[in-house]
Structure 1
């Protein structure tokens, strides 16, 4: 069973609000998750900040157990210093080509 940390969309049209959830990879986007571990509001407030609330202990637990974050959640976790920034495959290929020159 592959477990993913991903976003579940809530809110209304043109006003998205996401719950950061742990769910089975084969279930639907808004199906019942295993656990809700945070929220994310992508719309900036008056100061221009986007709101991210995370339960750090549970995120660390799920990452150590082997849950795989989606690309968007991975970016959020890197910003929160819960994950190191991993190089993308295209970055590795570009570095190899640069070394050959």
Structure 2
């Protein structure tokens, strides 16, 4: 089974909100997933910050067992600090 870390779209029309999920590569974009590892809101807030929260430990685990990040998720991980390991927030810190 090929596993990917990718974005699942939620929210309403013209106001997307994404869950960062680990899913089978053959499943639908918003279909069944194995685990939710984070959230991403691409619409900037008033202070021009985009909201991104994820569980660093679980992403490291899935990458270590061979899960491949999709292109958008790989770009998000790279923007945070250039590597997959430098992640600023975790879901555990936010409750």
TM-score, structure 1 length as denominator? Answer: 0.80
Name the CA distance, whole Å, in 2 between partners of 1:80 and 1:32. 27
Matched, 1:19 2:27: no
Higher helix share: 1
- State the Cα RMSD in Å: 1.2
Tell me the SS of whatever aligns to 2:64: helix
Cα deviation, residue 37, structure 1 = 0.1
Name the CA distance, whole Å, in 1 between partners of 2:59 and 2:80. 11
Name the CA distance, whole Å, in 1 between partners of 2:60 and 2:80. 12
Cα deviation, residue 32, structure 1 = 1.3
Name the CA distance, whole Å, in 1 between partners of 2:80 and 2:64. 16
Unmatched segments (≥5 aa) in structure 1: 85-101
Unmatched segments (≥5 aa) in structure 2: 86-95
Name the CA distance, whole Å, in 1 between partners of 2:53 and 2:76. 10
The structure with the larger Rg is 1
Give the number of the structure with larger relative contact order, counting CA–CA contacts within 8 Å between residues 6 or more apart: 2
Tell me the SS of whatever aligns to 2:47: coil
